[in-house]
Amino acid sequence: MERDTDRAANDSEVEVLRSLFQSFSGTEEERIRRSGLPRTTYLSAKRRIYDRGWVRDSYLPNPHLFGRPWASFLLAQPFADDFRTIATTLANDPGTVVAWLGRTTIFAVQFHGSRDLARRAIDPFRRRLAHRMIELTVELSPASVPCYFDFEGIWAHLSGRAGATGYPRPLAPPLPTGLLGGPPGQREQESAARLVRRTVFPEGTNRPSHLLGPHNLARSESRLIRKGLVQWRIFPVFPGFPYHSATRARDMLFVHGVPRGESVHSSLLPLLNFEGHSYPFLFVSSGKELLLAGLGSGSPSVSPGSPDGAARTSVGSILQGALQDIEVIREPLDSITVTVDHRYDRIALPK
């Protein structure tokens, strides 16, 4: 698989990327029909996108299914002497499913079995980093993580295609109850673990990337997705992000703040979407703090506008009205190094 550093998408690739980021788990023919492209055009563009290494498939297990109902989101800026040591320690931790390095910043996501286990895992970093670390540990629900690595909104915005059909997607709804056949059992847990491992390959292995989506799943595997035990997602392969026009994602932004009122936890994300035309790919609420992550154009001349020309409210003014003690961390997108790339097989371990 070649890695395309330019990532300029033509019109058909824009539509296929839009279709992929929607993570619509119907049949391949349904996705082609929804895209409005001829079948051969769709499939050719999709193959190019995967061959160039722009995106990858991933299957996310419902963490509740594997006894990991808590997650920690860490944002650290260690001193230079400690940077590599802390980055390596986090990457090697079996509970870490995501770890990204910027020029001065480490971002990581870990899953835990309880709040106490989360505290034990995080305390060594807290002691070492003191005030140079932001950490939100939450019990997983659509309220605490209403948007989890969902790039549909930002792609629709940057590509000028108005409307995002599924954004924002949460991480982990509670395990479904009242289903025909009762709650998930050992067999479904083992099947979910195998499905999660489907998109994990040793470093340097050529993967049949365009063939890993849900259109090639067995009926029993598709049932896991319908029941909410596994999610199918498409993630961009960093560094870099596809683009179609002059508006390009050049920076990764992290925003941390304290809500000015209880309603902010539920109102801020819709406000950013509809008033600010801003679409964070990550939104985490601990009840006392908020952490957002998104992609920025890095160009003040571009950011006030919107692809369809509609007026919008300044994102800065929205954040200032909703949050206090705001801290913004910006890293150039081309500086991001991925050390742990959505490794959910680390937590999808049958009991």
Q: Show pLDDT as tens, one digit a residue, over the chain (351 residues).
A: 455 567 899 999 999 999 999 987 678 888 899 899 999 999 999 999 999 999 999 999 999 999 999 999 999 999 999 999 999 999 999 999 999 999 999 999 999 999 999 999 999 888 888 678 999 999 999 999 999 999 999 999 888 877 788 899 998 666 655 544 555 778 889 999 999 998 886 655 555 555 577 777 888 888 888 888 999 999 999 988 999 876 789 999 999 999 999 899 999 999 999 998 899 999 999 989 999 999 988 644 333 334 444 557 899 999 999 999 999 999 999 999 999 999 999 998 876
Which pLDDT score, from 0 to 100, does residue 302 have? Answer: 35
Q: Which tokens go with 167? A: 């954004």
Which pLDDT score, from 0 to 100, does residue 94 have? Answer: 94
Q: In terms of Cα–Cα distance, which of 7, 59, 24 is closest to 238?
A: 7
DSSP label at 345? G
Domains identified in the chain and CATH numbers: 63-141+336-346 (3.30.70.920)
Q: Which tokens go with 66? A: 């594997």
Gap between the Cα atoms of 73 and 110, Å rounded: 7
Which pLDDT score, from 0 to 100, does residue 255 have? Answer: 97
Which pLDDT score, from 0 to 100, does residue 307 have? Answer: 45
Gap between the Cα atoms of 107 and 255, Å rounded: 12
Which pLDDT score, from 0 to 100, does residue 21 have? Answer: 94
Is the distance from CB of 347 to CB of 196 less than 8 angstroms? no
347 φ, ψ to 5°?
-110, -15
Range 81-84 contact pairs with CB under 8 angstroms and sequence separation of 24 or more: 82/128, 82/129
- The C-alpha angle with vertex 123 and arms to 118 and 124, in degrees rounded to 5, equals 125
Which pLDDT score, from 0 to 100, does residue 27 have? Answer: 81
Q: In terms of Cα–Cα distance, which of 213, 253, 191 is closest to 21?
A: 213
285 φ, ψ to 5°?
-125, 125
